[in-house]
Structure 1
Amino acid sequence: MPAAAVPRPVVDPRTGLRADGGPEPDRLALLGTLQEAFAAAVLATDPGAPVPACGDWTARELVVHLAGVHHWAAGMAAGDDTRAEVLPVPDGGPEALADLYGRHAAELRAVLAAVGPAARASTLVGDGPVGDGPASFWRRRQVHETLVHLHDLHAARLGSGPAVVTGDALPVAPEVWADCVDEIVTMFQPRQVRLGRMAPLPEPVRLVAADLGWSWTLGAHDGGSPDDEAGRRRPAATLSAPAHGLALLLWGRLDPAGAGATVDGDDAVVRRALGAPVVP
């Protein structure tokens, strides 16, 4: 594993902004780039193609799902948590689906730009399913949502998740995939525990993005604050993979072999962690 040339950014899960004084990425611009890539992939994909790792979804249902999530997230960013996330599934071919997606993608970007990152919004951080925080939370959250579903759409097009490679298909740097991992470790997995959707992990697992040398501990803060040093527990095993493989493994899109993962320590501990619903 290479030594980290740059320290891992510290991002506040409540805001989606850096808490270490480092430069903020332009997540709104990145969201636009990923949405454009998704819309282009819609036109290249059979709407009836099954989506690997997404149950019985077809590409049509995936596209409508992400359009609906964008519509819902736009409402959340504006402080309205009453919007429905589910949209009607339209008939028609790729062009009709691309039009539907494009409208809701543009809506989300417009709302995020209009309200600004500091506006009060409904977020996913709080004591219940919905909390309060700044709209910047949604810039980060929707980048990762779009990125993972872009992988899903290319997997449907190619017939296999491992067949999707980074680069032109998934136009982001490893640091973006690493931020996706960070969101799971610091926001989603603790939220799943807090909402009673999973039990705390019996043994934490150290996660290493092998291409960056960055690491996290999944389950270190179950039942406590990510800033609670006294509540940290030592990991029982280490799971290493390139940043994109690590993110897609945690999101259930790849298995360890497809993610290029290796385990140091108790393999059973890693299997239990990967089998838990660490994301919704």
Structure 2
Amino acid sequence: MLAAEQDAFAALAAGADLTLPVPACASWSAGALVRHVSAVHRWAAATARLDPDAPLPDHEPYECRADLLDYPAAASDLRAALTDTARPCPTLVGPGTAAWWVRRQVHEVLVHRFDLAAALGVEVTADSAVAADCIAEVVDTLQPRQVRLGRMAAAEVGVRLRTPTGVWQVGADPVAEVAGPEIAVALLLWRRIPLHDPSITVTGDRVTAAAFLAQPLTP
């Protein structure tokens, strides 16, 4: 699935006007977005090649590479580093395996593929299972990490998330239920679409749910 997401992102980036603004990332152009995803891939590939107790490498050298517009090369490097998904390596939440990075990078590309499509003014779709796991990653990994890092306060309330294929709870006791297609709920959690998007329905305390979802649930 990582290769499929990367190929879809690469197809959008090929020949695109890289000066176009990215609506979800106010200060970025399409070119800056491509460079960012390439840098993240290069950094994740280097991290996956380390011993599991090694410290995470510094991002900056990867963000300053001269070849970041060559996205296919960065994508290939990442896939090569993650071939053995059982290989122990560091992750953002402690020692783990390369499989952790496969999941994280699939969702990294998924969200930014929709960012790039929005910049280019084209419609794209997502595999419902991938989008559902993107929701699950926010719930089981990213939002708890944001709390641990002090990027958001420990949740006093929460939201129930419902899609055609699953139900999750993010935060504490739910004050509302948010429902919609898997990709819509995933993009909502990543603050790419608003709660009033027509693809989303809300039952319960909309105001409190909106305030909760406006917090940085993801990096």
Equivalent AA in structure 2 for residue 164 of structure 1 = E
What is residue 64 of structure 2 aligned with on the other side?
88
Structure 2 unaligned blocks of 5 or more: none
Alignment partner of 1:122 out of 72, 90, 101: 90
1:173 and 2:127 are equivalent in the alignment: yes
Show the 5 A alignment for 1:61-72.
61-72=32-43
Distance 1:259 1:251 in 2: 17
Equivalent AA in structure 1 for residue 6 of structure 2 = Q
SS in 2 for 1:189: helix
Q: Quick check: 1:184–1:278 contact (8 Å CA) kept in 2?
A: yes
- C-alpha displacement of 1:259: 5.9
What is residue 24 of structure 2 aligned with on the other side?
53
Identity of aligned residues (%): 44
What is residue 249 of structure 1 aligned with on the other side?
188
- Which structure is higher in strand share? 2
Show the 5 A alignment for 1:98-109.
100-109=70-79
Question: Given the two structures, how large is their TM-score scaled by the length of structure 1?
Answer: 0.72
- C-alpha displacement of 1:90: 5.7
Distance 2:155 2:198 in 1: 22
Distance 1:44 1:152 in 2: 16
1:137 and 2:100 are equivalent in the alignment: yes
Deviations 1:217-261 (A, max 9, x none): 1013xxxxxxxxxxxxx3221111111000001111111233611
SS in 1 for 2:132: helix
1:75 and 2:46 are equivalent in the alignment: yes
What is residue 217 of structure 1 aligned with on the other side?
169
What is residue 145 of structure 2 aligned with on the other side?
191
SS in 2 for 1:145: helix
In structure 2, do the counterparts of structure 1 residues 240 and 256 end up closer, same or farther at CA, with 3 Å as the change threshold? same
SS in 1 for 2:153: coil
Which structure has more RCO (C-alpha within 8 Å, separation ≥ 6)? 1
Show the 5 A alignment for 1:201-216.
201-209=155-163, 211-212=164-165, 214-216=166-168
SS in 2 for 1:55: strand
What is residue 206 of structure 2 aligned with on the other side?
267
Structure 1 unaligned blocks of 5 or more: 1-29, 126-130, 167-171, 221-233
Distance 1:255 1:240 in 2: 13
Distance 2:113 2:196 in 1: 21
- C-alpha displacement of 1:83: 4.7
Q: Quick check: 2:195–2:210 contact (8 Å CA) kept in 1?
A: no
Distance 2:57 2:212 in 1: 33
SS in 1 for 2:26: coil
- C-alpha displacement of 1:204: 1.4
The size of the alignment, in residue pairs, is: 214
Distance 1:137 1:61 in 2: 26
What is residue 116 of structure 2 aligned with on the other side?
153
Structure number, greater radius of gyration: 1
RMSD: 1.8
What is residue 164 of structure 1 aligned with on the other side?
123
